Structure 1
Amino acid sequence: MSFGTYARRVRDERVSSVRRYRALRCAVSEYGPLGFHATWAYLAATAVPAPDLRRDTAALLRALDILEASRAARIEEIAVFAARRRVEKAAGVRVPRSGDPLAPPWRPRWPGGAGPSRLGLVAAVAARRTAFLEFPHPDPSLFSDGLGHRFAELHGRLDACAAAYLAALGQPDGPTRDESAGIVADLHRHLGPGFAPLNVPLLQWLRFAELLDYAVKATAVSHAP
Protein backbone atom coordinates (compact mmCIF):
# COMPACT_ATOMS: atom_id res chain seq x y z
CA MET A 1 0.00 0.00 0.00
CA SER A 2 1.02 3.62 -0.44
CA PHE A 3 2.01 6.28 2.08
CA GLY A 4 -1.35 7.99 1.57
CA THR A 5 -3.26 4.80 2.33
CA TYR A 6 -1.39 4.33 5.59
CA ALA A 7 -1.89 7.98 6.52
CA ARG A 8 -5.65 7.68 6.02
CA ARG A 9 -5.71 4.59 8.22
CA VAL A 10 -3.88 6.45 10.99
CA ARG A 11 -6.60 9.14 10.91
CA ASP A 12 -9.52 6.71 10.68
CA GLU A 13 -11.23 6.74 14.10
CA ARG A 14 -13.11 3.55 13.18
CA VAL A 15 -9.81 1.65 13.15
CA SER A 16 -8.43 0.21 16.39
CA SER A 17 -5.55 2.05 18.06
CA VAL A 18 -3.27 -0.94 17.44
CA ARG A 19 -3.91 -0.86 13.69
CA ARG A 20 -3.52 2.93 13.58
CA TYR A 21 -0.17 2.59 15.35
CA ARG A 22 0.94 -0.08 12.88
CA ALA A 23 -0.22 2.10 9.99
CA LEU A 24 2.04 4.91 11.19
CA ARG A 25 4.94 2.46 11.36
CA CYS A 26 4.19 1.44 7.78
CA ALA A 27 4.02 5.10 6.71
CA VAL A 28 7.49 5.63 8.17
CA SER A 29 8.72 2.59 6.24
CA GLU A 30 7.47 4.32 3.07
CA TYR A 31 9.00 7.69 3.98
CA GLY A 32 11.72 7.82 6.61
CA PRO A 33 14.15 10.65 5.78
CA LEU A 34 16.50 9.75 8.65
CA GLY A 35 16.17 6.00 8.20
CA PHE A 36 13.30 4.03 9.73
CA HIS A 37 14.42 3.78 13.35
CA ALA A 38 15.88 7.28 13.55
CA THR A 39 12.75 8.76 11.94
CA TRP A 40 10.55 6.90 14.41
CA ALA A 41 12.59 8.19 17.35
CA TYR A 42 12.41 11.71 15.91
CA LEU A 43 8.62 11.54 15.61
CA ALA A 44 8.12 10.04 19.06
CA ALA A 45 10.17 12.85 20.60
CA THR A 46 8.60 15.71 18.68
CA ALA A 47 5.01 14.45 19.01
CA VAL A 48 5.55 14.27 22.80
CA PRO A 49 3.56 11.07 23.42
CA ALA A 50 2.29 10.34 26.91
CA PRO A 51 3.34 7.69 27.71
CA ASP A 52 3.97 6.47 24.15
CA LEU A 53 2.55 6.42 20.63
CA ARG A 54 0.78 3.09 21.19
CA ARG A 55 -1.64 4.56 23.72
CA ASP A 56 -1.70 8.26 22.85
CA THR A 57 -3.92 8.78 19.79
CA ALA A 58 -3.47 12.55 19.83
CA ALA A 59 0.32 12.12 19.74
CA LEU A 60 -0.05 9.57 16.94
CA LEU A 61 -1.86 12.18 14.85
CA ARG A 62 0.72 14.84 15.70
CA ALA A 63 3.46 12.48 14.58
CA LEU A 64 1.67 11.88 11.30
CA ASP A 65 1.26 15.63 10.75
CA ILE A 66 5.01 16.12 11.29
CA LEU A 67 5.84 13.28 8.90
CA GLU A 68 3.42 14.48 6.21
CA ALA A 69 4.79 18.02 6.36
CA SER A 70 8.31 16.72 5.84
CA ARG A 71 7.23 14.47 2.99
CA ALA A 72 5.38 17.33 1.26
CA ALA A 73 8.52 19.45 1.53
CA ARG A 74 10.60 16.60 0.09
CA ILE A 75 8.22 16.17 -2.86
CA GLU A 76 8.49 19.90 -3.56
CA GLU A 77 12.29 19.69 -3.36
CA ILE A 78 12.32 16.85 -5.89
CA ALA A 79 10.18 18.89 -8.28
CA VAL A 80 12.48 21.91 -7.94
CA PHE A 81 15.57 19.75 -8.43
CA ALA A 82 14.10 18.07 -11.52
CA ALA A 83 13.18 21.44 -13.07
CA ARG A 84 16.66 22.82 -12.39
CA ARG A 85 18.34 19.76 -13.85
CA ARG A 86 16.30 20.08 -17.04
CA VAL A 87 17.61 23.62 -17.47
CA GLU A 88 21.19 22.57 -16.61
CA LYS A 89 21.14 19.62 -19.01
CA ALA A 90 19.85 21.89 -21.78
CA ALA A 91 22.86 24.10 -21.07
CA GLY A 92 25.21 21.11 -21.32
CA VAL A 93 25.70 20.49 -17.58
CA ARG A 94 25.35 16.70 -17.43
CA VAL A 95 26.39 16.18 -13.79
CA PRO A 96 24.67 17.81 -10.77
CA ARG A 97 26.63 20.47 -8.95
CA SER A 98 29.07 19.17 -6.35
CA GLY A 99 27.67 19.34 -2.83
CA ASP A 100 24.06 19.81 -3.97
CA PRO A 101 21.99 18.49 -1.00
CA LEU A 102 19.15 17.49 -3.33
CA ALA A 103 21.30 15.38 -5.63
CA PRO A 104 21.64 11.60 -5.15
CA PRO A 105 22.71 9.74 -3.17
CA TRP A 106 20.18 10.62 -0.49
CA ARG A 107 21.63 11.13 2.98
CA PRO A 108 19.86 11.58 6.31
CA ARG A 109 18.08 14.95 6.33
CA TRP A 110 14.77 16.30 7.62
CA PRO A 111 13.15 18.44 4.90
CA GLY A 112 10.67 21.19 5.57
CA GLY A 113 9.94 23.90 8.09
CA ALA A 114 12.36 26.37 9.61
CA GLY A 115 14.72 23.52 10.42
CA PRO A 116 14.65 20.15 12.13
CA SER A 117 13.77 19.79 15.80
CA ARG A 118 16.85 19.66 18.01
CA LEU A 119 14.97 17.42 20.45
CA GLY A 120 13.98 15.13 17.58
CA LEU A 121 17.54 14.86 16.30
CA VAL A 122 18.88 14.14 19.78
CA ALA A 123 16.35 11.32 20.10
CA ALA A 124 17.25 9.99 16.65
CA VAL A 125 20.99 9.99 17.39
CA ALA A 126 20.43 8.39 20.80
CA ALA A 127 18.37 5.59 19.27
CA ARG A 128 20.88 4.89 16.53
CA ARG A 129 23.85 5.06 18.90
CA THR A 130 22.32 2.20 20.87
CA ALA A 131 22.03 0.18 17.67
CA PHE A 132 25.52 1.23 16.53
CA LEU A 133 27.08 -0.25 19.65
CA GLU A 134 25.47 -3.58 18.69
CA PHE A 135 26.56 -3.47 15.03
CA PRO A 136 29.06 -6.18 14.07
CA HIS A 137 32.70 -5.27 13.58
CA PRO A 138 34.44 -6.19 10.32
CA ASP A 139 35.80 -9.74 10.28
CA PRO A 140 39.45 -9.43 11.46
CA SER A 141 40.48 -12.21 9.09
CA LEU A 142 39.78 -9.90 6.14
CA PHE A 143 42.50 -7.35 6.84
CA SER A 144 45.88 -6.77 8.45
CA ASP A 145 46.41 -5.90 12.11
CA GLY A 146 47.18 -2.30 11.17
CA LEU A 147 43.85 -1.90 9.42
CA GLY A 148 42.07 -3.57 12.31
CA HIS A 149 43.59 -1.00 14.65
CA ARG A 150 42.32 1.84 12.43
CA PHE A 151 38.81 0.35 12.40
CA ALA A 152 38.83 0.06 16.18
CA GLU A 153 39.97 3.67 16.40
CA LEU A 154 37.23 4.79 13.99
CA HIS A 155 34.59 2.96 16.01
CA GLY A 156 35.81 4.62 19.21
CA ARG A 157 35.90 8.06 17.60
CA LEU A 158 32.35 7.70 16.27
CA ASP A 159 30.99 6.59 19.63
CA ALA A 160 32.84 9.37 21.47
CA CYS A 161 31.56 11.97 19.00
CA ALA A 162 27.98 10.76 19.42
CA ALA A 163 28.39 10.77 23.19
CA ALA A 164 29.66 14.37 23.09
CA TYR A 165 26.70 15.43 20.92
CA LEU A 166 24.22 13.79 23.28
CA ALA A 167 25.92 15.14 26.41
CA ALA A 168 25.59 18.64 24.92
CA LEU A 169 21.89 17.94 24.26
CA GLY A 170 22.33 18.59 20.57
CA GLN A 171 24.37 21.78 20.95
CA PRO A 172 27.92 20.51 20.34
CA ASP A 173 31.07 22.60 20.25
CA GLY A 174 33.28 23.25 17.23
CA PRO A 175 35.62 20.27 17.72
CA THR A 176 32.65 17.88 17.79
CA ARG A 177 31.35 19.38 14.54
CA ASP A 178 34.74 19.00 12.88
CA GLU A 179 35.13 15.46 14.17
CA SER A 180 31.79 14.25 12.83
CA ALA A 181 32.68 15.38 9.30
CA GLY A 182 36.14 13.82 9.58
CA ILE A 183 34.71 10.46 10.61
CA VAL A 184 32.37 10.39 7.61
CA ALA A 185 35.30 11.16 5.28
CA ASP A 186 37.48 8.47 6.90
CA LEU A 187 34.77 5.84 6.55
CA HIS A 188 34.32 6.67 2.88
CA ARG A 189 38.06 6.18 2.36
CA HIS A 190 37.90 2.66 3.81
CA LEU A 191 34.96 1.50 1.71
CA GLY A 192 36.08 -0.56 -1.26
CA PRO A 193 33.94 -1.22 -4.36
CA GLY A 194 32.57 -4.74 -4.50
CA PHE A 195 34.11 -6.01 -1.25
CA ALA A 196 30.89 -6.92 0.54
CA PRO A 197 32.31 -8.77 3.59
CA LEU A 198 34.11 -5.61 4.68
CA ASN A 199 31.69 -3.03 3.28
CA VAL A 200 28.55 -4.31 5.02
CA PRO A 201 29.58 -3.46 8.61
CA LEU A 202 31.35 -0.27 7.52
CA LEU A 203 28.24 0.90 5.66
CA GLN A 204 26.24 0.48 8.87
CA TRP A 205 28.78 2.64 10.67
CA LEU A 206 28.68 5.16 7.82
CA ARG A 207 24.88 5.51 7.97
CA PHE A 208 25.11 6.33 11.66
CA ALA A 209 28.03 8.71 11.08
CA GLU A 210 26.07 10.54 8.36
CA LEU A 211 23.06 10.91 10.65
CA LEU A 212 25.28 12.27 13.42
CA ASP A 213 27.06 14.65 11.04
CA TYR A 214 23.72 15.96 9.77
CA ALA A 215 22.42 16.45 13.31
CA VAL A 216 25.59 18.32 14.30
CA LYS A 217 25.49 20.58 11.25
CA ALA A 218 21.74 21.23 11.50
CA THR A 219 22.20 22.41 15.07
CA ALA A 220 25.07 24.70 14.04
CA VAL A 221 22.94 26.28 11.29
CA SER A 222 19.91 26.79 13.54
CA HIS A 223 22.09 28.57 16.15
CA ALA A 224 24.08 30.69 13.72
CA PRO A 225 23.85 34.46 14.37
Structure 2
Amino acid sequence: MSFGTYARRVRDEGSPPARRHRALRCAVGEYGPLGFHATWAYLAATALPAPDLRRDMSALLRALDTLEASRAARIEGVAAFAARRRVEKAAGVRTPRSDGPSAPHWRPHWPSDSGPSRLGLVAAVANRRTEFQRVPHPDPSLVSDDRARRLWELYGRLDACAAAYLTALGRPDDAVRGEAAGIVTGIRHHVAPGYAALNVPLFQWLRFAELLDYAVKATAVSLAR
Protein backbone atom coordinates (compact mmCIF):
# COMPACT_ATOMS: atom_id res chain seq x y z
CA MET A 1 0.00 0.00 0.00
CA SER A 2 1.01 3.62 -0.44
CA PHE A 3 2.18 6.25 2.02
CA GLY A 4 -1.11 8.09 1.54
CA THR A 5 -3.15 5.01 2.44
CA TYR A 6 -1.22 4.56 5.70
CA ALA A 7 -1.57 8.28 6.49
CA ARG A 8 -5.35 8.05 6.10
CA ARG A 9 -5.39 5.08 8.47
CA VAL A 10 -3.44 7.05 11.05
CA ARG A 11 -6.07 9.81 10.88
CA ASP A 12 -9.02 7.39 11.05
CA GLU A 13 -10.51 8.21 14.45
CA GLY A 14 -12.79 5.18 14.21
CA SER A 15 -9.84 2.78 14.22
CA PRO A 16 -8.31 1.36 17.41
CA PRO A 17 -5.16 3.14 18.63
CA ALA A 18 -3.03 0.05 17.98
CA ARG A 19 -4.10 -0.03 14.32
CA ARG A 20 -3.36 3.67 13.88
CA HIS A 21 0.03 3.19 15.54
CA ARG A 22 0.86 0.34 13.15
CA ALA A 23 -0.22 2.51 10.23
CA LEU A 24 2.26 5.21 11.23
CA ARG A 25 5.04 2.63 11.46
CA CYS A 26 4.11 1.45 7.97
CA ALA A 27 4.19 5.04 6.75
CA VAL A 28 7.70 5.40 8.17
CA GLY A 29 8.57 2.18 6.35
CA GLU A 30 7.49 3.87 3.11
CA TYR A 31 9.25 7.15 3.87
CA GLY A 32 12.00 7.18 6.49
CA PRO A 33 14.63 9.74 5.46
CA LEU A 34 16.92 8.93 8.39
CA GLY A 35 16.35 5.19 8.24
CA PHE A 36 13.39 3.50 9.94
CA HIS A 37 14.51 3.48 13.57
CA ALA A 38 16.19 6.89 13.50
CA THR A 39 13.13 8.40 11.81
CA TRP A 40 10.85 6.87 14.42
CA ALA A 41 13.02 8.23 17.23
CA TYR A 42 12.96 11.66 15.56
CA LEU A 43 9.17 11.65 15.32
CA ALA A 44 8.67 10.44 18.89
CA ALA A 45 10.97 13.17 20.21
CA THR A 46 9.29 15.96 18.25
CA ALA A 47 5.70 14.89 19.03
CA LEU A 48 5.83 16.79 22.33
CA PRO A 49 4.51 17.42 24.92
CA ALA A 50 3.41 13.77 25.22
CA PRO A 51 5.56 11.67 22.85
CA ASP A 52 3.82 8.37 23.58
CA LEU A 53 2.88 7.42 20.05
CA ARG A 54 1.26 4.17 21.11
CA ARG A 55 -1.31 5.69 23.47
CA ASP A 56 -1.51 9.41 22.73
CA MET A 57 -3.37 9.88 19.46
CA SER A 58 -2.71 13.63 19.46
CA ALA A 59 1.02 12.90 19.56
CA LEU A 60 0.54 10.31 16.83
CA LEU A 61 -1.09 12.92 14.59
CA ARG A 62 1.66 15.45 15.32
CA ALA A 63 4.22 12.85 14.31
CA LEU A 64 2.35 12.18 11.07
CA ASP A 65 2.15 15.90 10.32
CA THR A 66 5.93 16.16 10.77
CA LEU A 67 6.53 13.17 8.53
CA GLU A 68 4.18 14.43 5.82
CA ALA A 69 5.78 17.88 5.85
CA SER A 70 9.22 16.32 5.35
CA ARG A 71 7.94 14.09 2.55
CA ALA A 72 6.34 17.07 0.81
CA ALA A 73 9.62 18.99 1.05
CA ARG A 74 11.44 16.00 -0.40
CA ILE A 75 9.02 15.73 -3.34
CA GLU A 76 9.31 19.46 -3.97
CA GLY A 77 13.09 19.26 -3.87
CA VAL A 78 13.20 16.37 -6.32
CA ALA A 79 10.88 18.20 -8.71
CA ALA A 80 13.04 21.33 -8.52
CA PHE A 81 16.16 19.27 -9.17
CA ALA A 82 14.56 17.59 -12.18
CA ALA A 83 13.57 20.97 -13.62
CA ARG A 84 17.08 22.33 -13.05
CA ARG A 85 18.64 19.30 -14.71
CA ARG A 86 16.49 19.75 -17.80
CA VAL A 87 17.82 23.28 -18.15
CA GLU A 88 21.41 22.16 -17.50
CA LYS A 89 21.22 19.32 -20.01
CA ALA A 90 19.85 21.68 -22.64
CA ALA A 91 22.90 23.85 -21.97
CA GLY A 92 25.23 20.86 -22.37
CA VAL A 93 25.93 20.27 -18.66
CA ARG A 94 25.87 16.48 -18.37
CA THR A 95 27.07 16.06 -14.77
CA PRO A 96 24.82 17.24 -11.89
CA ARG A 97 26.28 19.62 -9.33
CA SER A 98 27.21 18.02 -6.01
CA ASP A 99 25.12 20.43 -3.94
CA GLY A 100 21.40 20.75 -3.41
CA PRO A 101 18.74 18.02 -3.70
CA SER A 102 20.93 16.00 -6.08
CA ALA A 103 22.60 14.47 -3.02
CA PRO A 104 21.76 10.73 -2.78
CA HIS A 105 18.45 10.47 -0.94
CA TRP A 106 19.45 7.16 0.59
CA ARG A 107 21.87 8.96 2.89
CA PRO A 108 20.43 10.31 6.14
CA HIS A 109 18.72 13.61 5.45
CA TRP A 110 15.62 15.33 6.82
CA PRO A 111 14.02 17.48 4.10
CA SER A 112 12.21 20.42 5.65
CA ASP A 113 11.34 23.96 4.69
CA SER A 114 12.44 25.20 8.12
CA GLY A 115 15.33 22.80 8.70
CA PRO A 116 15.40 19.64 10.86
CA SER A 117 14.66 19.65 14.58
CA ARG A 118 17.78 19.62 16.76
CA LEU A 119 15.86 17.68 19.41
CA GLY A 120 14.75 15.17 16.80
CA LEU A 121 18.29 14.65 15.50
CA VAL A 122 19.64 14.21 19.03
CA ALA A 123 17.01 11.52 19.64
CA ALA A 124 17.85 9.82 16.34
CA VAL A 125 21.59 9.77 17.08
CA ALA A 126 20.99 8.50 20.62
CA ASN A 127 18.78 5.70 19.30
CA ARG A 128 21.28 4.59 16.68
CA ARG A 129 24.27 4.88 19.02
CA THR A 130 22.66 2.27 21.27
CA GLU A 131 22.36 -0.07 18.29
CA PHE A 132 25.87 0.77 17.05
CA GLN A 133 27.32 -0.33 20.37
CA ARG A 134 25.73 -3.75 19.87
CA VAL A 135 27.24 -4.32 16.41
CA PRO A 136 29.91 -7.06 16.53
CA HIS A 137 33.43 -6.01 15.67
CA PRO A 138 34.90 -7.31 12.40
CA ASP A 139 36.20 -10.87 12.54
CA PRO A 140 39.95 -10.58 13.33
CA SER A 141 40.66 -13.40 10.87
CA LEU A 142 39.47 -11.17 8.02
CA VAL A 143 42.02 -8.41 8.53
CA SER A 144 45.67 -7.88 9.37
CA ASP A 145 46.70 -6.82 12.87
CA ASP A 146 47.46 -3.30 11.62
CA ARG A 147 44.09 -2.97 9.92
CA ALA A 148 42.32 -4.35 12.97
CA ARG A 149 44.03 -1.68 15.08
CA ARG A 150 42.91 1.06 12.68
CA LEU A 151 39.35 -0.26 12.71
CA TRP A 152 39.31 -0.27 16.52
CA GLU A 153 40.49 3.33 16.44
CA LEU A 154 37.69 4.27 14.06
CA TYR A 155 35.14 2.53 16.27
CA GLY A 156 36.37 4.40 19.33
CA ARG A 157 36.45 7.72 17.50
CA LEU A 158 32.90 7.26 16.22
CA ASP A 159 31.54 6.38 19.65
CA ALA A 160 33.40 9.26 21.30
CA CYS A 161 32.21 11.70 18.64
CA ALA A 162 28.60 10.60 19.13
CA ALA A 163 28.98 10.92 22.89
CA ALA A 164 30.32 14.47 22.50
CA TYR A 165 27.42 15.40 20.21
CA LEU A 166 24.87 14.01 22.65
CA THR A 167 26.54 15.58 25.69
CA ALA A 168 26.35 18.94 23.93
CA LEU A 169 22.67 18.25 23.19
CA GLY A 170 23.20 18.67 19.47
CA ARG A 171 25.35 21.79 19.71
CA PRO A 172 28.81 20.39 18.87
CA ASP A 173 31.95 22.48 18.57
CA ASP A 174 34.15 22.75 15.47
CA ALA A 175 36.31 19.83 16.58
CA VAL A 176 33.35 17.46 16.66
CA ARG A 177 32.14 18.67 13.26
CA GLY A 178 35.52 17.99 11.68
CA GLU A 179 35.84 14.64 13.41
CA ALA A 180 32.45 13.38 12.20
CA ALA A 181 33.31 14.01 8.55
CA GLY A 182 36.73 12.39 8.95
CA ILE A 183 35.24 9.26 10.46
CA VAL A 184 32.87 8.79 7.52
CA THR A 185 35.82 9.04 5.13
CA GLY A 186 37.86 6.64 7.24
CA ILE A 187 35.16 3.95 7.31
CA ARG A 188 34.54 4.23 3.57
CA HIS A 189 38.26 3.65 3.03
CA HIS A 190 37.94 0.21 4.63
CA VAL A 191 34.79 -0.90 2.77
CA ALA A 192 35.78 -3.49 0.18
CA PRO A 193 34.16 -3.77 -3.26
CA GLY A 194 31.55 -6.46 -3.76
CA TYR A 195 30.13 -8.66 -1.00
CA ALA A 196 33.13 -8.97 1.29
CA ALA A 197 32.33 -10.35 4.74
CA LEU A 198 34.10 -7.39 6.34
CA ASN A 199 31.50 -5.06 4.84
CA VAL A 200 28.68 -6.41 7.03
CA PRO A 201 29.70 -4.58 10.24
CA LEU A 202 31.35 -1.72 8.36
CA PHE A 203 28.14 -0.79 6.55
CA GLN A 204 26.40 -0.59 9.92
CA TRP A 205 29.17 1.64 11.23
CA LEU A 206 28.94 3.75 8.09
CA ARG A 207 25.20 4.25 8.34
CA PHE A 208 25.59 5.49 11.90
CA ALA A 209 28.56 7.68 10.99
CA GLU A 210 26.65 9.26 8.10
CA LEU A 211 23.68 9.98 10.38
CA LEU A 212 25.97 11.60 12.95
CA ASP A 213 27.78 13.61 10.28
CA TYR A 214 24.46 14.86 8.89
CA ALA A 215 23.16 15.74 12.36
CA VAL A 216 26.34 17.67 13.15
CA LYS A 217 26.24 19.60 9.87
CA ALA A 218 22.51 20.30 10.06
CA THR A 219 22.94 21.70 13.56
CA ALA A 220 25.81 23.90 12.41
CA VAL A 221 23.61 25.37 9.66
CA SER A 222 20.72 26.08 12.03
CA LEU A 223 23.00 27.74 14.60
CA ALA A 224 24.49 29.94 11.88
CA ARG A 225 21.07 31.35 10.93
Partner of 1:11: 11
CA contact (8 A) 2:108 2:211 kept: yes
Instruction: In structure 2, give the amino acid aligned to 1:18.
Output: A
User: Is 2:200 the partner of 1:182?
Assistant: no
CA–CA separation in structure 1 for the residues paired with 2:39 and 2:60: 14
In 1, Cα distance between equivalents of 2:67 and 2:27: 9
What's the CA shift for 1:188?
A: 1.3
1:81-96 equivalences under 5 Å are: 81-96=81-96
Contact 1:49 1:60 in 2 (8 A): no
Q: State how far apart, in whole Å, the 2-side matches of 1:195 and 1:149 are.
A: 22
TM-score, normalised on structure 1? 0.96
Q: Please list every run of 5 or more consecutive structure 2 residues that lacks an aligned counterpart in the other structure.
A: none
* Two-structure CA RMSD over aligned residues (Å): 1.3
- Which residue of 1 is the match for residue 192 of structure 2? 192
Q: Which runs of 4+ in 1 moved over 4 A?
A: none
Output aligned runs, 1:82-161, within 5 Å: 82-104=82-104, 106-161=106-161
| Aligned 8 A contact 2:3 2:30 in 1 | yes
| 8 Å CA contact retained: 1:108, 1:214 | yes
1:184 is paired with a residue whose SS is: helix
> Which of 159-168 and 190-199 deviates more?
190-199
- Post-superposition CA distance 1:136-169 (Å, at most 9, x none): 2222111101000111110000000000000000
Letter in 2 for 1:207: R
Percent identical residues:
76
Quote the Cα distance in structure 2 between the aligned partners of 1:73 and 1:98: 19
Once residues 68 and 205 of structure 1 are traced to their aligned partners in structure 2, the CA distance between those partners, rounded to angstroms, is: 29
Counterpart residue identity of residue 84, structure 1: R
Q: Distance in 1 between matches of 2:145 and 2:138?
A: 12
2:22 counterpart residue number:
22
Q: Identify unmatched segments of 5+ residues in structure 1.
A: none
**Do the aligned residues in 1 keep the contact of 2:180 with 2:209 (CA within 8 Å)?**
yes
Match of 1:162 in 2: 162
Q: CA deviation at 1:100?
A: 4.3
The separation in 2 between residues aligned to 1:49 and 1:6, in whole angstroms, is 24
Do 1:135 and 1:201's aligned partners in 2 also have CA atoms closer than 8 Å? yes
Q: Which residue of 2 aligns with 1:172?
A: 172
Structure 1 residue 99: Cα displacement: 4.1
Most deviating of 91-100 and 119-128: 91-100
Which residue identity does 1:36 align to in structure 2? Answer: F
- The residue number in structure 1 matching 2:50 is 50
Residues 49, 9 of structure 1: CA spacing in aligned structure 2 closer, same or farther, 3 A cutoff? farther
Q: Could you say what secondary structure the match of 1:60 adopts?
A: helix
- Name 1:67's counterpart in structure 2: 67
Q: CA deviation at 1:89?
A: 1.9
How many angstroms does 1:101 deviate by? 4.5
